[in-house]
Chains A and B, each alone.
Chain A
Amino acid sequence: MPVNKIGSFNLSTLDKTVSFILDTNILYFVHSGYYSNTNSKNIAYSNLLQQIISNGNALFVTSLNLQEFIFGIENKEYELHLNATGKNRKGFTKKDFRKDVTLRAGVHSKVKTALTEIKAAYELCNIDVTTKSIENFVDDYLKYFYDPMDYLVVDATNKKDIIYITDDTDFQSDSRVEVLTM
């Protein structure tokens, strides 16, 4: 299966039956919402997704990617808090961060907003994690470079007319999947 680059990918000739699944890194670039100086990946991936929405192809976000995205935002908020206060990880652990009511409210507000915009733009789909799918991951461990999360998403969703939008090169180790990336 091909690895498509955004710059040469032609949406106008794409069949409407083709659907896309967003990797967690794409959710981060487009929906984390942090103000920062220009980031080329924020720009490129947001423009791509907007074009796909306008083109009428379905875009899916899985429950596994959503939980990884929320976990990632919580980690970023923790890192930003350490940076802003000069605390270190030993002196103020992630568990300490989670127990602080004010900081927890800040994370809640941020992930709630991100979830609101994600739900407005995409179709959400549930993935069941089964002991069998974990066994499959272990059995295939030497075949691909996936982490468990990405493996489980591909294992549950890969079929004809599905394209994964990702910034992760690990997907390129799997010849079964079609990838769209920068």
Chain B
Amino acid sequence: MILARNYIETGFSADDAGKLDVIIKPLFDKREQIVIDFEGIKIFTTLFFNTALAKYVMEIGPDEYEELFELKNLSEVGEVTYQHSLDNAKNYYVMTEEQRKKQDEILADPE
């Protein structure tokens, strides 16, 4: 089991995601069960989960992802943002390349 607080203080940024991914990726490459315990971490963003975990949804699909990954002890903010990230990733996963490209264009900047 991965105890997230040994590697990150917040689940906030792309950097936070990168620090955790150093631990996740070798396990993922061997398709080992990945259990991450977020005990003690209070600040989360959807962006963090997009960067740390949703990319694996893209790689193996939502069903296999949910069999392989288990998250424990998420705070309320963590639960909400993780579910948001998963929902977005599942929607993105079923899009065609053309739909993804168009969505990326729409979302590229705030205007």
A32 to B85, CA, bound (A): 10
Q: B residues within 8 A CB of A167?
A: 110
Pick from B13, B42, B106, B107: contact of A46, CB under 8 Å:
B13
**Of residues 27 to 70 in A, which have CB atoms within 8 Å of B's CB atoms?**
28-37, 39, 42-43, 46-47, 49-50, 53-54
A116 to B106, CA, bound (A): 24
A43 to B88, CA, bound (A): 18
Asked if B46 and A84 sit within 8 Å, CB to CB, the answer is no
Q: Is the interface of B mostly helix, strand, loop or mixed?
A: helix
**Of residues 1 to 55 in B, which have CB atoms within 8 Å of A's CB atoms?**
9-10, 12-16, 42-48, 50-51, 54
Interface size on A, residues (CB 8 A): 36
Known: A35-B89, A120-B77. A80 touches B106 (CB 8 A): yes
Asked if B88 and A33 sit within 8 Å, CB to CB, the answer is yes
Q: Is the interface of A mostly helix, strand, loop or mixed?
A: helix
B interface, size bucket = 35 or more
Q: A residues within 8 A CB of B44?
A: 117, 120
* B92 proximal to A (CB < 8 A): yes
A81 to B109, CA, bound (A): 17
Which residues does B use to contact A, with CB under 8 Å?
Answer: 9-10, 12-16, 42-48, 50-51, 54, 76-77, 80-81, 84-85, 88-89, 91-92, 99-100, 102-104, 106-110
| A and B contact pairs by CB, cutoff 8 A, 23 listed | A25-B110, A31-B45, A32-B107, A34-B107, A35-B50, A36-B92, A36-B104, A43-B13, A46-B12, A46-B14, A46-B45, A49-B12, A49-B13, A50-B12, A50-B16, A54-B9, A80-B107, A83-B99, A113-B80, A114-B46, A117-B77, A121-B12, A121-B45
